[in-house]
């Protein structure tokens, strides 16, 4: 190991843990007619309903599609691993897939980027997919969770060899999307983090999570050390929580002040505000407005960059800098893909 001897790794294998919905993204540039036909907003994230069944078939038939391994949490863990580079398998990921071709692709893709993925594999439902319908700079996401929705705490998380991997971690990240799947799994991990003074991070993920899964969200909130969200999600959250304000800074302050289980750590709230304004975190970190952070995978990358420094115990402003860097790289690429090596200092 020449040249490595004097290089101290700040993160060990499995020190970053993520759990969520592993999905295969089916990406295509579509037209406005397609969006209108399935009544999709240009920029949104929704769960597929019966009326979207044909959407997936039509997308593949009519447009040139690309397949990318996806799912918000999995994307963020991959980006964090890419930013860290060495050692491999700093990032662990749990989620549920089917025993099928798409599941095999997800396993291969995780291995390629050195993420230690441990999937719960079942054959009742096929591997989940997400249609990414792109028009210009916008991207409308329609997720068909399928297998991802079948994650079971007792069948996977509770197994001794899996729980050992959870215990090895010092930073945890779960996107709000997983609140629709297994609240008990999230709570088990969140409580473990809180009781052991480790960092538990969560993302609001989408307006529908703040609106229709707010009871689940608020059960987890006392354990959240770092809360991520974008402006739209923060606004939806504030409305549901009766914060009585649309001012993003005020929303962040109120979210920070919500009850917290582990009093040793003050909650940090990170709200991204698109291309026009700064991104604030509390305690306040000054950031640069020229970064576009929207729904085209950049949000997941932002979190991944942030986590890559957090797990190495870097200060907050460094975490934000890395978050911007990662988001900026991803914006310029298809899907949530990335160049071979980061060039971040």
Alpha-carbon Rg for the chain in angstroms: 19
- In DSSP terms, 17 is beta-bridged to 92, 172
Q: What is the pairing mode between strands 138-144 and 128-135?
A: antiparallel
CA dihedral of 309, 314, 318, 321, whole degrees rounded to 10: 0
Distance of CA 261 to the CA centre of its chain: 23
CA-to-CA dists, residue 270 to 144, 225, 228, 336, angstroms: 28, 11, 5, 21
Counting every residue written for the chain, the total comes to 345
Selecting among 25, 44, 225, 300, the annotated active-site residue is 300
300 is a catalytic site residue: yes
Nearest to 37 by CA among 21, 52, 24: 52
Q: Of all helices (H) and strands (E), which one includes residue 186?
A: helix 183-195
- Tell me which residues are annotated as active site: 300
């Amino acid at each position: 190991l020449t040249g490595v001897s004097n290089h101290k790794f700040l993160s060990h294998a499995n020190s970053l843990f993520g759990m969520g919905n592993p999905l295969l993204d089916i990406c295509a540039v579509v037209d406005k007619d397609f969006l209108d036909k399935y009544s999709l907003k240009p920029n949104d994230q929704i769960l597929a309903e019966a009326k979207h069944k044909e959407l997936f078939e039509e997308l593949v038939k009519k447009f040139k599609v690309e397949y990318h391994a996806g799912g918000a949490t999995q994307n963020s863990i991959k980006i964090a691993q890419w930013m860290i580079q060495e050692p491999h398998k700093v990032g662990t990921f749990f989620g549920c897939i089917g025993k099928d071709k798409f599941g095999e692709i997800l396993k291969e893709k995780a291995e390629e980027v050195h993420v230690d993925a441990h999937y719960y594999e079942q054959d009742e439902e096929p591997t989940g997919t997400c249609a990414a319908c792109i028009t210009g700079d916008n991207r409308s996401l329609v997720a068909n969770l399928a297998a991802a929705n079948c994650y079971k705490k007792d069948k996977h998380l509770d197994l001794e060899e899996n729980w050992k991997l959870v215990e090895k971690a010092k930073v945890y990240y779960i996107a709000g999307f997983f609140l629709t799947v297994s609240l008990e799994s999230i709570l088990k991990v969140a409580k473990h983090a809180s009781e052991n003074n480790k960092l538990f991070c969560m993302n609001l993920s989408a307006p529908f999570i703040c609106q229709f899964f707010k009871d689940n969200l608020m059960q987890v909130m006392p354990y959240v050390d770092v809360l991520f969200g974008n402006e739209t999600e923060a606004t939806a959250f504030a409305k549901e929580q009766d914060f009585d304000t649309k001012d993003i800074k005020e929303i962040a302050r109120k979210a920070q002040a919500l009850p917290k289980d582990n009093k040793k750590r003050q909650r940090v709230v990170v709200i991204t505000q698109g291309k026009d304004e700064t991104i604030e975190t509390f305690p306040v970190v000054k950031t640069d407005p020229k970064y576009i952070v929207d729904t085209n995978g950049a949000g997941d990358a932002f979190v991944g960059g942030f986590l890559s420094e957090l797990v190495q115990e870097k200060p907050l402003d460094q975490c934000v800098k890395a978050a911007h860097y990662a988001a900026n790289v991803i914006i310029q690429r298809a899907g949530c893909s990335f160049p071979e090596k980061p060039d971040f200092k």
